[in-house]
Structure 1
Amino acid sequence: MPAPAIILVSADHLDVLEAEFTHRYAHDYDLRCATTCAEAEQIAREICDAGGLVAMFVTDSRPVDQPSVLHAFAAWRSVVPQARRLVAAHWDHFLDDAPSLRAGMAKGKYDAYLLMPRGARDEEFHHAVTDLLSDWGASVPDPEVVSVKIISPSHDPLTLAIRDFLDRMGMPNRVWHPEDPHIQQFLTQFPDRTYPFVYSPQRSGLSATSVRDVAHHIWGRPSDFKIDDVIDMAVVGGGPAGLAAAVYGASEGLSVVLLEAEAVGGQAGTSSMIRNYLGFPRGISGMRLAQRARNQALRFGTTFLTGWDVDTLEVGRDGAPHVVRTEGGEVRARTVVISTGVAYRKLGVPSIEDLVGRGVNYGAALTAAREMEGYDVVVVGGGNSAGQAAVHLSRFARSVSIVVRRSGLGETMSQYLVDEIAYNDRITVVPRTRVVDGGGDGALEWLCLEDVDTGERTTKQARGLFLLLGAEPRCDWLPEELVRDRSDFVLTGRDVPRELWVDDLPPANLATTVPGIFAAGDIRSGSMKRVAAASGEGASVVPLVHAYLAPAPED
């Protein structure tokens, strides 16, 4: 396959852009130049018609054949919706054009607004470019650099689930058909394989029967790790709260083990782009945020046990440590941080549940989004996760319908996402509606939608259904001593019933009813259900752990 293209567009400053991009990117990308927006659109169409890929459009802020660069991006997006879009304004125009263009960036009309390089080694400019190209590369079905090979004769639910897990763990992967001539010699090493077959250079090959098989194969069992007899802090759950607790705890000298049943990042890890997280003006995908936090925690000494459900938590008594038990071993800890987050609620429609993994997905399922190219899809949910999923799906699907029971999205979704969705002509909001039925021949083909006010039903063709229906806590493994609210969220601090306070004083803000056990993030009763809030709680729990572990004063 030819190298992916970067299309540079400028009538007056093309020489500056071409020189800068040639020095940095000509080895790995096919650089194309255009002086008008119409010419750039034609180049993109020719590349796509030939089976090639367009990774990015880079344009100055003043096109000669469009009233605004935003009109150009709209036209280019209709040709290549997956390409990243960058404005590199000339220094003579940067300040004057910024007010009118930055509002468009907030609505997702393009990805970044930068000052055109004025000389050599403008690393801030190129850092933004490479970040955008990296995000684009993560959305390509067949990446150039492959960490894990998957051999499978079909895109069955298990193969898709394995790919989604590996994507969320930041491991580039690719699927080959067993009869692909390029891998025949490779397959002779594994004559007894069954499918899907997963190969990682570090761990050889595996005939997988579940996603957990893959996690254990690549990252090992708890018994494979040398863990001290009793550690300072066990973190259960690897979402933003758990990752923050691991980073801050390990960086301050605590021995930390983090256990995660699925992919590190939790629900936040499935977000295609979080644009309102502090410190990332161009946004960051949930997967990248989670992997950066994981690497940070590893650097400080955190041990990660990935793919292991915690079966029970045994409360330590009379000074004994708490015990976190899994099928593959146990972890004994002086303190435990519960940050298991929440699960999406089930739709409860039998015909829909039967098609999970065959067009029906709980959560954003970023890998499944790539399978939706050219099809109509439906997203159910009105929160930020649903909005982010819809925006991401619009890069691939022909149309995206957001189905919500409320009258709109404004009550439950951040305004920047509401604005971005309103701008996107591929996304339609269907208010006061619910999904009541669906079906297809072995995979989802249609859905039945019902108006919640009138009861009127309509049938809609759909190849994908993405269900992001709100939060249910994961608390079935917790001991009775940890008091929860009516919805089963863990109570902490002043929310703990007064009769359980000690000396008429409530537990600390993130402390539970069991000394030495804390809760942070979405699992906690009264939490904000936002990535930044969960990260803050994870960091805030560490001083409480230190205070609990500190020797009691003599007086």
Structure 2
Amino acid sequence: MPERPADRPVILLVADAHAPLVEQEFRARYDRDYRIVLVGTTGEALDRLRDLVADRVPVAMIAAERHLPDSAGVDLLHQVPAVVSTARRVALISGDEYADALDEMRAALLRRDMDTFVGIPRGARDEEFHVALVELLSEWGWSVARPTVTSTEVVAEPGDRVAAAVRDLLERLGVPNRVLAPDDAAARAILDAAGPGAALPVVRTFAGRVLTGATPSAVAEAMYGGYDSIPPGEIADVVVVGAGPAGLAAAVYAASEGLSTVVLEREAIGGQAGSSSMIRNYLGFPRGISGMRLAQRSRVQAGRFGARFYTGRPVARIEPGPAHEPEHHHVHVDGAQLCARTVVLATGVSYRRLGVPGVDDLVGAGVHYGAASSMAREMADRDVVVVGGGNSAGQAAVHLAKFAGSVTILVRRGSIAETMSDYLVREIAATPTIAVRPRTSVVDGGGEGALQWLVTQDLDTGERSKTHADGLFCLLGAEPDCGWLPGGLARDEHGFVLTGRDVPQERWVDGRPPASLETTLRGVFAVGDVRAGSMKRVASASGEGASVLPLVHTHLAWLRAQEFGADA
């Protein structure tokens, strides 16, 4: 059924001197999918926004000219979140004042008064102007708007925790989806295809496959390649274990250089970074990029070079190549085995558990480990608590604040500035619905079927207090998942993998340490957060994933020399 004009999200234009040009430019590109509304003053804009919100009309973007009759455009954009917090905010600068406005615009960005500024086009086909707008509209469409076209349906009873986990996976993969109740008319054809008595949740993927009793692992495997399709006896040049930023970078560079490359991921491609609502300090993305978009683009890029992805099952163990067969290692998952000339460990880390029984019993029912961006829309006007002081926690809090009535960040340290990037500290300070409680921890919680309350403790005084909470998002720092690794692989006291000169000297071979990213197993490398001493940042993980390739090539050359009997 075609969308009626009144149903379309609104782009509100606020312009005076350049109003005809601005309106023409927006209508020419966006009039089909958005309702373009033009007003001339700050007062009119705020009144129109309030009316749209009262009528429950989604507002995707407000674009305001720098000079308005009754205020500066930036002053208007600063006021917008108090009316509609999810709309993207853009300042429009005319060409003759662009250079003079730069300092003012940069200061406004630092204050988070807007999302970006762009020059008003002075001619046809100003694609840079539209790239900036499309990026913002794309992120709005993914994180705020309900999808108008879905590619995957989930049929489940309300409150089904497994279905919530499936939906979170789909959101992290960037797959448009919707959840249907079993008695919904749209669910009938799906349940008929599943057969009588089908166990819920039932998922119909974009390829038309219907899964009954679906789990996140089963959905991931159905969508992006099952291990059963791995050709028997194949030996890959590189097997990358983990598809976060480090693993994806390794896959892109390995495959682009002609190496046969296989990537194994037990959950969503993108890892923890894939759940970040917005990464603003990643090189080359001045307006920021969501973790989902970054992972999605990286996966497509690696795939175009020939890398193959298999998801849904964890790697169970790695068996180093035996003395009579040193040219490859054996990588085992449940029901399948791969042979690899080199292995790149990029498994990242997992969030620590609170260890509070009343809270952990409600995981999936108001309690989430990780950003769980799919749940942000469900927190509209509710009270939310975020536990953690790292960048992931800050990004989650800022995103949740666009929907929730209140967001409280709990940290054990004295300040979030001790562990969080400055740009996020400033953004949190500029968001009135976010409160920070330092030196505070969660000690209890509960609710009838879902989270309803938490008990927090002041770490200095020991005083406890009970507070209402509809959602708890725990991003508690990193612990590596390395228990499955072979015993011959050295790790530090926290379980992170040791590489290069960090390896104890007694484990060196012939008095020489392993290569910089190589472990104590020859031909097995570690990159990203799983590696001891890594920075635990998306950009540094990506850099390590790229940097491992020369070491991989060196090892492959050594294997070839061994094969032909040359002196290694």
Scaled by the length of structure 1, what TM-score is found? 0.97
Tell me the secondary structure at the aligned position of residue 416 of structure 2. Answer: coil
Residue of structure 2 equivalent to 1:74: 78
Deviations 1:74-124 (A, max 9, x none): 322122111111111111322222212212213432111111111110000
Q: Report the Cα distance in structure 1 between the residues aligned to 2:452 and 2:145, rounded to whole angstroms.
A: 22
Is 1:147 matched with 2:154? no
* Alpha-carbon spacing, 1:305–1:492, altered in 2? closer, same or farther (3 Å): same
Q: Report the 3-state secondary structure (helix = DSSP H, G, I; strand = E; otherwise coil) of the residue aligned with 1:334.
A: strand
In structure 2, how many angstroms separate the alpha carbons of the residues matched to 1:554 and 1:52?
A: 73
Counterpart selection for 1:292 from 297, 308, 313 = 297
1:34 aligns with 2:39: yes
Query: Does residue 90 in structure 1 map to residue 94 in structure 2?
Result: yes
Aligned partners of 1:472 and 1:332: how far apart in 2?
28
How many Å separate the matches in 1 of 2:303 and 2:42? Answer: 46
Choose which of 369, 373, 376 in structure 2 pairs with 1:362.
369
Amino acid at match of 2:535: M
Is the aligned partner of 1:513 residue 2:520? yes
- Residue 188 of structure 1 deviates from its aligned partner by 4.0
Match of 2:492 in 1: 485
> Which residue identity lines up with residue 307 of structure 1 in the other structure?
G
Given that residues 78 and 114 in structure 2 are in contact (C-alpha distance below 8 angstroms), is that contact kept between their aligned partners in structure 1? no
- Superposition deviation, residue 495 in structure 1: 0.5
Q: Give, in whole Å, the separation in 2 of the partners of 1:513 and 1:184.
A: 56
Q: Is the 8 A contact 1:107 1:417 kept in 2?
A: no
> What's the offset of the Cα at 1:191?
4.1
Partner Cα separation in structure 2 for residue 105 and residue 227 of structure 1: 54
Give distance in 1, aligned partners of 2:355 and 2:552. Answer: 40
Work out the CA distance in 2 between the residues paired with 1:276 and 1:334.
35
Deviations 1:312-339 (A, max 9, x none): 1111122141111011311110110001
Describe the SS at the equivalent of 2:62: strand
Residue 18 (structure 1) aligned with residue 23 (structure 2): yes
Give the deviation of 1:382 after TM superposition: 0.6
Between the aligned partners of 1:473 and 1:359, the Cα distance in structure 2 is 25
More deviation, 77-86/295-304: 77-86
Letter in 2 for 1:234: V
Task: Check the 8 A contact 2:221/2:310 in 1, yes or no.
Answer: no
Q: Give the distance between the partners of 1:480 and 1:387, measured in 2 at CA.
A: 36
Deviation for aligned residue 1:431: 0.8
Q: 1:165 aligns with which of 165, 169, 184?
A: 169
Write the distance in 2 (CA, Å) between the matches of 1:443 and 1:117. 51
SS of residue in 1 equivalent to 2:530: coil
Offset of residue 227 of structure 1: 6.4
Residue of structure 2 equivalent to 1:336: 343
Structure 1 unaligned residues grouped into runs of 5+: none
Q: In structure 2, what is the equivalent of residue 527 of structure 1?
A: 534
Deviates more, 1:473-482 or 1:155-164: 155-164
Identity %: 52
Secondary structure, aligned partner of 1:21: helix
Is the 1:208–1:214 contact (alpha carbons within 8 Å) kept by the matching residues of 2?
A: no
Aligned counterpart in structure 1 of residue 66 of structure 2, from 52, 61, 64: 61
For residue 278 of structure 1, what is the amino acid of its counterpart?
L
Give the alignment partner of residue 377 of structure 1, picking from 375, 381, 384. 384
| Aligned match for 2:453, one of 446, 471, 477 | 446
Deviation at 1:185, TM superposition (A): 5.2
3-state SS of the aligned residue for 1:86?
strand
Segments of 5+ residues of structure 2 without an aligned counterpart are none
* Secondary structure of the structure 2 residue equivalent to 1:175: strand
Match of 2:118 among 110, 114, 117: 114
Answer whether contact 2:190 2:204 (CA < 8 A) is retained. no
Structure 2 equivalent of residue 393 of structure 1: 400
Q: In the alignment, residue 106 of structure 1 is paired with which amino acid?
A: L
* 1:419 corresponds to which of 398, 409, 426: 426
CA distance in 2, matches of 1:209, 1:431: 40
Mapped contact 2:89–2:115 kept (Cα < 8 A): yes
Among 243, 263, 269, the residue aligned to 1:264:
269
Query: Structure 2 vs 1, CA of residues 128 and 488 (structure 1 numbering), >3 Å: closer, same or farther?
Result: same
Greater shift in the superposed pair: 96-105 or 539-548: 96-105
**2:543 maps to which residue?**
536
Q: Structure 1 residues 304 and 153 mapped into 2: Cα distance closer, same or farther (>3 Å)?
A: same
Is residue 439–residue 460 contact of structure 2 (8 Å, CA) maintained in 1?
Answer: yes
| Counterpart in the other structure of 1:49 | 54
Among 169, 183, 199, the residue aligned to 1:179: 183
Identify which of 186, 202, 205 aligns with 1:200.
Answer: 205
**1:245 pairs with one of 242, 245, 250:** 250
Deviations 1:434-492 (A, max 9, x none): 11111111111111111100011111111011101110001011000101000010000
Q: Distance in 1 between matches of 2:203 and 2:120?
A: 44
Do the aligned partners of residues 497 and 201 (structure 1) sit closer, same or farther apart at CA in structure 2, a change above 3 Å counting?
closer
| SS of alignment partner, residue 96 of structure 2 | coil
Matches within 5 A, 1:309-328: 309-318=314-323, 319-328=326-335
Matched pairs, number: 554
Distance (whole Å) between structure 2 residues aligned to residue 513 and residue 49 of structure 1: 63
CA deviation after TM superposition for structure 1 residue 179, in Å: 2.6
Q: Quote the offset at 1:49 in angstroms.
A: 2.2
SS of corresponding position for 1:100 = helix
Tell me, yes or no, if the aligned pair for 1:260 and 1:306 is still in contact at 8 Å.
Answer: yes
Aligned mate of 1:131, from 130, 135, 140: 135
Return the alpha-carbon distance in structure 1 between the equivalents of residues 145 and 366 of structure 2.
17
Deviations 1:38-58 (A, max 9, x none): 212222222222232111111
Deviation larger for 299-308 or 148-157: 148-157
- In structure 2, give the amino acid aligned to 1:287: M
How far is 1:379 from its partner?
Answer: 0.6
The Cα offsets for residues 193-247 of structure 1, whole Å up to 9 and x where unpaired, read as: 3322111241421123421121222234212133662110100000111000000
Aligned mates of 1:227, 1:46 — CA distance in 2? 63
Query: Could you tell me the TM-score, scaled by structure 2's length?
Result: 0.95
Shift of 1:172: 0.9
Residue identity matched to 2:140 = W
Q: Provide the rounded CA distance (Å) in 1 between the counterparts of 2:90 and 2:352.
A: 38
